Every structure is written in C-alpha cells, then in structure tokens.
C-alpha cells in the first residue's frame, strides 16, 4: 500500500482544500487520491457553532444553525488576516447572519477526521487557498496549520491543484496547453498550464475575489426577501433565524438551477407564522447576478495575456469548484471552446474534489512517498502567486524596499521589508545595482542586492510584519489543545446523556406494553423523573449520568428480564 508518509513512518501528508463554503481532505495512497470523510460526508461545512456547553464543528455546527444562527460562523476564510475595521469586513457584516468580533481562534477538526480515518495522525499537509490571497493571508493560513500541529508543506492555488489532479488522472501523452477556471465560494481562480507526460508547468495564475459563489447566494437571498416583503409585508432582514432558513433554501435553489430552468422554494412558517412559496427561474437568477457573471471573462482574459499564449493555442479548458456548476459559467466556457476550437473538459473532474485530490498528490510528493510510481513520474513547476515590487531610494546608500501584491502603485502593496546597500564613494560614475529575488515553494522570499561596480552586496529575508511570533504560536497551540480536551469531554458527556435517554425510552416503551401494576407504575415514575432531570441538567459530569443510569437499571432488572433487548450502554 502506498501512503503519503515520512520515511520514519511517523505520520501522513494529506491534502486540504480550504474552502469558504466547505473543506475537503484527501490522502494519496495506492496510486490514487482518496477522500477522507467527515461524519459520513465527503465535504465538511466550513462552520463552527458556539453553544452554552462548547463548540460544534462542521456538519454538527451547520445542523443546529437554524436555532443558533447568531452564534454559528460560516465561511471564516473570508476574515483571514483582516482587521475588524477593514471596509470589506464592515460591508460583509451587513450581510452576515452571525455576530462578528475581533479575535483569533482555531479548530483542528480536519486533523481529527484524518486521524480517525487513517488510524494514524497526519503530520503535514498541502493546503489550497485562493490565488488572490496576500502574503499576510498566506502567512495566517501557514500559522493556523502550525497551531493545529500540521507541518504546512505548501500552499497551492486551487486552480493549480485542480490542474495537478487532471495531469495525474488523465496523463496526456503529448504537450497540451490547458486553461483551468476554478470558481469557488471565495473567489474565481484561473491558471494556464503546459502539461505533458507528468510535467505540469504553470505559466500564470490570475484571481478575482470580486467573483464569488457566495455572492450569488446573497443576491438570491435579497431577491427572495424582497418578494416575501411584497407578499407578506414583513421584513426578514432583522430576523437571523428566518434569514438563515431562507439562505439555506436559496443555496439549494441555486444548485438546482444549474440543471433545471426553474425550481420552487417552499418554507413553512418562515416569519411571523407565514409560509413562503416562491418559484424562481434560472433566467431571473442570472438577471439579478448579471453584473457579477459578466465579469467572469476578465480573469480568463488576464490569465491568457499573462501566459502569452494565443487563445487559439489553448487545447482544452478544465472547470472546477462548487460554483462552477452555475449554468451561465458553463455556457461561457462552452462558447469560448466553440470560438477558439478547443475541447471542453469540465466534466472530467469532480468540481468539489479536484483541488483536494491534487493537493493530496502534491503532499505525497513533498512528504517523500517513495512507494508510488505515479509520484516519481510527475513534477509541478509553479509560479509566484503575486507580483513582487521594489521601491528604491538613494540616501547615503541604496535603500530598497520589497512589496507584494497587485495594486497599481507598488507602495500600496503589502510591505515585506527593506535593506540598505552601502555604496562606495571612491567609484566615479553611476552604480549598477542588480537585485535578485528568490521565492521558494514554501513562500519564503529572499531579496539579494549587489553593486556590480564594487562587488558589495546585501541580503534581505522578506517576512510578513504582522506574522505571529514564536511565543504567540506556542500559546495558541496550547489553547487549541485545551479546546481539544474540552471538546472530547463534551463529546463524552453528550454520549452518556444520549445513552441514558435511549435506555429510558426503551424502558418506557416496554412498560407501556405490560399490564399496569404497582411495580410497573413505580418504575415508570422513576424513568420519567430521570428524564425530567436529564432535560434540566445540561452540564453535569459523565460520572453523574452513568451513576444515575445504573441505579435505574438495577431497580428495573429485578422484574424486567425482557429488557435485555435494551442493553446497557
């Protein structure tokens, strides 16, 4: 069996598609990527709920959101490394169904799923992120992985990871130029790559965070809320619970409109006792989202220009990401394929899993999995995910500053560091300065400046000035471990309470079927008293649950031999 493990066998390297709407995890073994399930599902909702007794992560958190929407956080990826006062954050807050405060926290639920599935802890990961992430956001993801006790092997653009998945599963035998469009809930990423017999060379990556799948959901929710207000004369915008139910229905409707021309939203007692029944068409959805959808062509054109490859020389297009199922985008890619005579390959990959599988494959390579022939025969040549700019100033020496980003002016990009190169005063004439930048696969940037005239040089390691210190990482890692202990305690408490309730209901069912004697009525009263106590006590220790349950069992066992069909927990 081929596993993505280190040579000492201490753990596995996994691939994580860190999405805004959902998270998907995979392991590469037996020469193929295998999805790691979360509570029986292939995708884990990007959701954390805070209750009176603890936290609920993933599916458990999403399932209770209807009754606890103000304390259920969705799409936390949107907030990574942004301040509370950020204008974009403040704009988003107006559309959110939960409270937002300024804080730092983490939850290694993905790691627990992987450890449970594999029977051994994963120690490293390749993580996919939007191409538009700044160096600060990338550093925040890197730090979060470290806090969750992962070794981050690499951060990959989702489009690059999907391309890698295509190359490893389809393995074209001749050199081909591919356009990869990945439309997720957080952004639209586009890459252009040259693929041939195991070699994947990324020519360019482009991204647009103004094109987001969850924006389509938000537009449909606004549209539906206005329709409800016109029909019922009731405003939903201040009712978190109603808005959450409406958003869930709208997300489902958007998915259905990918394959149907119309669908019906039907919600019982949505607000103030009023039902909401509304038929929405694909045409109306596209009309209300037309300004967003029409911009989908912009990152595609940007990527083609950056790759310096003629449109007619693109051999195929690959479409991925959950939101790529939107009919309008599918039609756009289809129209482009007809216009430039290339093959559409959008259905050769699972759009929800493509990036995850590519990341798992890359994790297998980087973690040194020597048991797989596939990993030995493939190579990824990536590009810098964003532009590096240099600002210069002569002030007793050569002062150069390094910035990263895509703003029109270099000084408006993210500041990464500065250094001074001493200039010899003994040399006449202009100085010729050579600046070399080195960016490794882990995102580390080194800048080297050399005065060609004198041979004097200096070097700068570029880091995010807002990155967490070693002390902060250690403290937050310890905090997450405390969360783990607390979560495990809460899980055992819930299991003990559920076991007690299951026994009581079984006991009551049996007693109801027996002749009503003094003994059966007494045991019925004992069971009902215990049930009332369970309803009142939500935070007692596991031992108290089990002790009280054993007392009830002992009282019942003397006369209820048939109760063996309800075994003790």
Helix or strand or coil: residue 139?
helix
The answer for residues whose C-beta is within 8 angstroms of residue 175's C-beta and 6 or more apart is: 194, 195, 196
Of 228, 349, 210, 241, which Cα lies nearest the Cα of 277? 228
Instruction: Give the model's pLDDT for residue 261.
Output: 92
What is the C-alpha separation between 71 and 62, in angstroms, rounded? Answer: 11
Tokens of 468: 């967490």
Q: What is the DSSP string of 274-305?
A: EEEEEEEEHHHHHHHTHHHHGGGHHHHHHHHH
Map out the domains of the chain with their CATH numbers: 12-211+293-381 (3.30.420.40), 388-462 (2.60.34.10), 470-565 (1.20.1270.10)
CB 223 within 8 Å of CB 284 = yes
CB 386 within 8 Å of CB 206 = no
What is the C-alpha separation between 506 and 499, in angstroms, rounded? Answer: 11
Low-confidence ranges of the chain (pLDDT < 50): 1-10, 84, 93, 97-107, 562-569
CB 161 within 8 Å of CB 353 = no
What is the C-alpha separation between 220 and 243, in angstroms, rounded? Answer: 12
List the Cα angle 298/300/305 in 5-degree steps: 95
Of 524, 515, 509, 519, which Cα lies nearest the Cα of 565? 509
Instruction: Give the model's pLDDT for residue 81.
Output: 52
pLDDT in tens, 394-440: 766 788 788 877 676 777 777 777 888 887 665 666 778 888 888 77
CB 320 within 8 Å of CB 351 = yes
What is the C-alpha separation between 538 and 471, in angstroms, rounded? Answer: 36
pLDDT in tens, 212-261: 788 888 889 999 999 999 988 788 877 878 888 898 899 899 989 988 99
User: Which residue has 């093959």 as its token pair?
Assistant: 343
User: Which residue has 């990536």 as its token pair?
Assistant: 382
Instruction: Give the model's pLDDT for residue 346.
Output: 53
What number of helices (H) and strands (E) belong to the chain? 16, 23
What is the C-alpha separation between 177 and 314, in angstroms, rounded? Answer: 5
Model pTM?
Answer: 0.71
CB 252 within 8 Å of CB 317 = no
Helix or strand or coil: residue 522?
helix
pLDDT in tens, 170-213: 777 788 888 888 888 778 889 999 988 778 899 988 888 777 78
Exposure of 213 in the CB half-sphere (CA atoms within 13 A)? 29
β partners of residue 191? 180, 205
What is the C-alpha separation between 452 and 469, in angstroms, rounded? Answer: 36
What is the C-alpha separation between 569 and 507, in angstroms, rounded? Answer: 13
What is the C-alpha separation between 226 and 246, in angstroms, rounded? Answer: 12
CB 28 within 8 Å of CB 372 = yes
Instruction: Give the model's pLDDT for residue 557.
Output: 73
Of 7, 11, 346, which Cα lies nearest the Cα of 179? 346
CB 203 within 8 Å of CB 194 = yes
CB 77 within 8 Å of CB 20 = yes
Tokens of 41: 């599902």
Q: What is the DSSP string of 446-493?
A: EEEEEETTT--EEEEEE--TTPPPHHHHHHHHHHHHHHHHHHHHHHHH
């Amino acid at each position: 069996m081929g596993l993505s493990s280190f040579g000492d066998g201490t753990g596995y390297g996994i691939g994580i598609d860190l999405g805004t709407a959902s998270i998907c995890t995979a392991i590469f073994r037996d020469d193929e990527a295998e999805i790691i399930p979360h509570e029986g599902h292939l995708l884990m909702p990007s959701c954390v709920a805070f209750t009176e007794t603890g936290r609920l992560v993933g599916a458990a958190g999403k399932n209770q959101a209807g009754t606890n929407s103000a304390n259920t956080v969705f799409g936390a990826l949107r907030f990574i490394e942004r301040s509370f006062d950020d204008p974009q954050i403040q704009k988003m807050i107006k559309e959110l169904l939960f409270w937002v405060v300024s804080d730092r926290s983490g939850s290694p639920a993905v790691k627990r799923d992987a450890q449970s599935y594999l029977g051994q802890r994963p120690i490293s990961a390749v993580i996919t992120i939007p191409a538009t992430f700044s160096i600060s956001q990338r550093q925040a993801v890197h730090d979060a992985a470290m806090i969750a006790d992962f070794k981050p092997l690499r951060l990959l653009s989702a489009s690059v990871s999907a391309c890698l998945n295509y190359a490893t599963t389809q393995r074209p035998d001749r050199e081909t130029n591919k356009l990869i469009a990945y439309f997720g809930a957080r952004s639209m990423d586009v890459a252009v790559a040259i693929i041939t017999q195991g070699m994947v060379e990324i020519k360019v990556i482009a991204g647009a965070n103004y094109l987001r799948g969850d924006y389509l959901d938000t537009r449909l929710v606004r549209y539906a809320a206005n329709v409800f207000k016109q029909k019922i004369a009731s405003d939903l915008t201040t009712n978190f619970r109603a808005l959450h139910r409406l958003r869930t229905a709208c997300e489902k409707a958007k998915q259905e409109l990918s394959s149907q021309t119309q669908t019906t939203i039907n919600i019982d007692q949505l607000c103030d006792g009023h039902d909401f029944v509304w038929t929405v068409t694909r045409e109306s959805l596209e009309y209300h989202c037309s300004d967003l959808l029409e911009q989908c062509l912009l990152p595609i054109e940007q990527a083609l220009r950056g790759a310096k490859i003629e449109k007619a020389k693109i051999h195929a297009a690959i479409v991925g990401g959950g939101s790529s199922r939107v009919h309008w985008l599918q039609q756009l890619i289809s129209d482009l394929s007809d216009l430039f005579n290339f093959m559409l390959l959008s259905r050769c990959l699972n759009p929800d899993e493509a990036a995850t599988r590519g990341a798992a494959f890359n994790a297998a390579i980087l973690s040194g999995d020597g048991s797989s022939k596939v990993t030995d025969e493939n190579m990824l040549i990536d590009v810098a995910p964003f532009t590096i700019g240099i600002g210069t100033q002569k002030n007793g020496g050569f002062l150069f500053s390094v910035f990263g980003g895509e703003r029109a002016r270099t000084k408006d990009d993210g500041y990464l560091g500065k250094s001074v190169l001493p200039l010899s005063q003994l040399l006449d004439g202009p100085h010729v300065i050579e600046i070399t930048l080195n960016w490794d696969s882990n995102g580390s940037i080194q800048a080297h400046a050399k005065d060609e005239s004198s041979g004097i040089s200096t070097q700068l390691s570029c880091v995010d000035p807002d990155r967490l210190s070693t002390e902060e990482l250690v403290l937050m890692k310890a905090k997450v471990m405390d969360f783990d202990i607390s979560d495990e305690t809460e899980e055992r408490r819930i299991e003990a309470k559920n076991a007690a309730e299951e026994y009581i209901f079984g006991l009551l069912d049996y007693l109801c079927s027996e002749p009503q004697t003094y003994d059966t009525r007494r045991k019925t009263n004992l069971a009902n008293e215990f049930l009332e106590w369970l309803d009142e006590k939500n935070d007692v220790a596991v031992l108290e649950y089990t002790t009280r349950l054993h007392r009830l069992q002992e009282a019942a066992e003397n006369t209820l031999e048939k109760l063996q069909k309800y075994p003790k927990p």
